[in-house]
Structure 1
Amino acid sequence: MTTYSTAEPQYVEVNGTRFAYLRFGSTAKTDVPLVFLQHFRGTFDHWDPALIDPIAAVRPLILIDNSGVGKSSGTVPGTYAEWAWNVVAVVKALNIPLIDVLGFSMGGFVAQMTALNAPTVVRKLVLAGTGPSAGEGVEGGDPLATQRLATASNEQEARDAFLTAFYSLTAKKQALGDTWWKRMNAARSNRSDYVGSEGTNAQIGAVIRWGSRDFASEGSYDRLHELKIPVLVANGDNDVLIPTVNSWVIFKKLANADAHLHLFPDVGHGFLNEYADQFSKLINVFLDA
C-alpha cells in the first residue's frame, strides 16, 4: 500500500489555481477521506509519518497544500474563511461528496471554517492544538515563540524554532523533539520548503484578523454552536503557541455537537508527534464510531 513516504503529488486546477495534494490510504473500510490541514508555514511535506501512516492503513487520506503554500500555485488568502473555501473547492473538483477533516494549529482554524461554511460536506471534525477566533476566554500564545517560527530562514533556525515551540525545554523532551524532526525530514523526497516571507506575512495577517473581535463575523467563536457533527478536540496540557485553555473554550462552545476533549500529559503543541501512536489510534476510533 502507498504510504506517506511514497505518495506522489497530484494536482487539480480550480479557478486558475493549481492545487497540490497527496491522496493515498486504504478504502477497505470506508470511502470517506480524512483531509489534513497543516500548521503555520507548513506544507504537506511536513507531517509526521508516525502519525499519518497508521491512519492511512485503515482509511483514505488527502493532504492539501492550500494556495500559495508548498507545491500549490497562487497566493495565501487573507482570511481563514477563504482558505476553507479553497479546501471545499478542491474536494468538489475531485468529485468527493463527503469528507472528515483534521486541522492542526492554524490548520485547525481552517478546519473550523470548512465545517461551518460547508456543513453538508464535512462528516466529522478533528481539531488538534488549535483554538477558536477571538472571544471571551480565548488566550494568546507566546509571541516570542511565534516570532521565531515566522522569521526562521534556514534549516537550523527552523529546527530550533519548532523544537522550542512544540516541545518543553527539558533535555528529555528536546531529545524527543529531535527524534521527531529527523523522522519528519527523512519521510519524503523532493520536499517543499516552509512557506516563504511573503506567504508568511499573509498567514500572519490572517492570524491577526482571526484574533480580533473587529473581524468576529469572519471567525468561528460566535458560530461554533452551529456545528452538529462529532468533533474531537485534542491538545497537549501545556501548549505555549495556542494555549491549552483554548481547546477547552472550543469544547464548551460546541454546545450542539457530539464533542470530545482529550488532553495529553506533559506535552505541548507537538503532542500529535510525541504521542503519534496513541493519537493515531484515537483518531481511528473516533472516526469509526
Structure 2
Amino acid sequence: MEKENTLVKADQSETKFASIQDYKIAYRSIGKGLPIILCNRFRGNLDDWDPAFLDALAQKYQVIIFNYKGLATSTGTPHETILGFGKDAIDLADALKIDKFILGGWSLGGWAAQVATTEFSNRITHTILIGTKPPGKVNHPLEEIFIKTAYIPEYTLEHETILFFEPASEASRNAAAESHKRINKRENKDQKVKPELWEYYGKSHDDYWNDPYNAREKLMQINIPILIISANHEVCFPPENWFELNQKLPTATLITIAQTGHGPHHQYPEMVTRYIDNFIESN
C-alpha cells in the first residue's frame, strides 16, 4: 500500500497514474489509515469532490479518488456497463497493492460501488453510498429539472446549487457558494469529461436499470455493512426508493439530512465524515 503524507491537502494533492493492462487510471491519494476508494458522479473528474470532505476523511483514512477508464485524464475506451465502472475501483486497488478497502460512491458512483460490492465482496469491508439509488427498476424517478441542468456543458454556481444542494434553503445556498469556492481553489485542474463521452454513462445507466448482475437481490443477502446517506430533497435519487427496501437490507443504515440536496457531503463535509467514521467504527 502506498504511503502518503498526511499534511498534503486535497487541493494540493498530486495526480498520479496507475497502469492497468494497456491503459492508465488517473488518481489522487491523501491521508493514511484504512483505504477508502471513492467512485465519482456523472461527469465527475478528480476536481469534483469537495476538498473539505476529502480532507476531513483523510484525518483517519487513506482517501483515494480516481477517474474511470477513458474519462477525463484516464486513458483507454470507456466502459459500457456499470460493472466496468465498479471494477475500475478493484483494478486500481490491485495496482496500489491494496487487498481490502472501504468502497464509497456518489450518485452514479454509488451504482458502481453497489455492483462492485456484490461482485467482489471479498475485497470490500464497508460500503458508503451518497446520493444514489438501488440497483434495478425504482418507483420514484428523478425530477425533470435535474435532467435539464445536468447536461449543461459548463456548470455555474447556480447550476451546482440546483444539482447538488437545496435551492429553497438559504443555508444550503450559502453552503453551495462555499463549496464552489473550495472546489475552484485548485490551480492545476483536471481535464473535464468530454461531452462526446457522456453516452457511456447512459449505457451504464441502462445496464444498472436492467440489473443483469442481480445486485438488488445480492444486497438483501450480503453481510457487508452499508451506509446510505441521502437528503430530504433528493432532486436526482429520492430516498423513498431506499425506504421501500429498508426491511430487506440486513446490513444497511439509512440517513437522510434535512434542507439538503444531491450532494450532502459537500454541504456538510465534516458532519457527513463523522457519520461515516462512526459507522465504520461501529461495524
Q: TM-score, normalised by structure 2?
A: 0.90
Among 238, 241, 245, the alignment partner of 2:240 is 245
What residue is the counterpart of 1:202 in the other structure?
200
Among 194, 204, 220, the alignment partner of 2:215 is 220
The answer on 1:273 being equivalent to 2:266 is: yes
Over the residues paired in the alignment, what is the CA RMSD in angstroms?
A: 1.8
Unpaired runs of 5+ residues, structure 1, are: none
Residue 217 and residue 60 in structure 1: after superposition, are their counterparts in 2 closer, same or farther (change >3 A)?
same
User: How far apart, in 2, do the equivalents of 1:103 and 1:138 lie?
Assistant: 21
User: How far apart, in 2, do the equivalents of 1:268 and 1:83 lie?
Assistant: 24
What residue is the counterpart of 2:146 in the other structure?
145
User: How far apart, in 2, do the equivalents of 1:253 and 1:266 lie?
Assistant: 27
| Aligned-residue offset at 1:15 | 1.8
Residues 165-174 or 13-22, more deviating: 165-174
**SS of corresponding position for 2:25:** strand
Is contact 1:149–1:162 with CA below 8 Å preserved after alignment?
no
Residue 171 and residue 285 in structure 1: after superposition, are their counterparts in 2 closer, same or farther (change >3 A)?
closer
Among 226, 230, 233, the alignment partner of 2:225 is 230
What residue is the counterpart of 1:180 in the other structure?
179
User: How far apart, in 2, do the equivalents of 1:250 and 1:95 lie?
Assistant: 35
User: How far apart, in 2, do the equivalents of 1:253 and 1:67 lie?
Assistant: 33
Q: 1:21-56: per-residue Cα shift (whole Å, max 9, x none)?
A: 1112033xxxx3011111110112111122111110
User: How far apart, in 1, do the equivalents of 2:68 and 2:248 lie?
Assistant: 27
**SS of corresponding position for 1:179:** helix
Among 86, 90, 108, the alignment partner of 1:88 is 90
Is contact 2:71–2:78 with CA below 8 Å preserved after alignment?
yes
Show the 5 A alignment for 1:1-289.
1-27=7-33, 32-135=34-137, 137-150=138-151, 152-156=152-156, 159-170=157-168, 172=170, 173-186=172-185, 188-211=186-209, 215-218=210-213, 220-249=215-244, 251-255=246-250, 257=251, 259-289=252-282
User: How far apart, in 2, do the equivalents of 1:194 and 1:183 lie?
Assistant: 17
Alignment-mate amino acid for residue 74 of structure 1 = G
Alignment-mate amino acid for residue 174 of structure 2 = A
Unpaired runs of 5+ residues, structure 2, are: 1-6
| Aligned-residue offset at 1:193 | 4.0
| Aligned-residue offset at 1:138 | 3.6
Alignment-mate amino acid for residue 268 of structure 1 = G
Q: TM-score, normalised by structure 1?
A: 0.89
Q: 1:233-270: per-residue Cα shift (whole Å, max 9, x none)?
A: 11111101111212334544423x2x211111121212
More helix by share: 1
Is contact 2:73–2:191 with CA below 8 Å preserved after alignment?
no
User: How far apart, in 1, do the equivalents of 2:64 and 2:108 lie?
Assistant: 17
Residue 171 and residue 242 in structure 1: after superposition, are their counterparts in 2 closer, same or farther (change >3 A)?
closer
Is contact 1:130–1:247 with CA below 8 Å preserved after alignment?
no
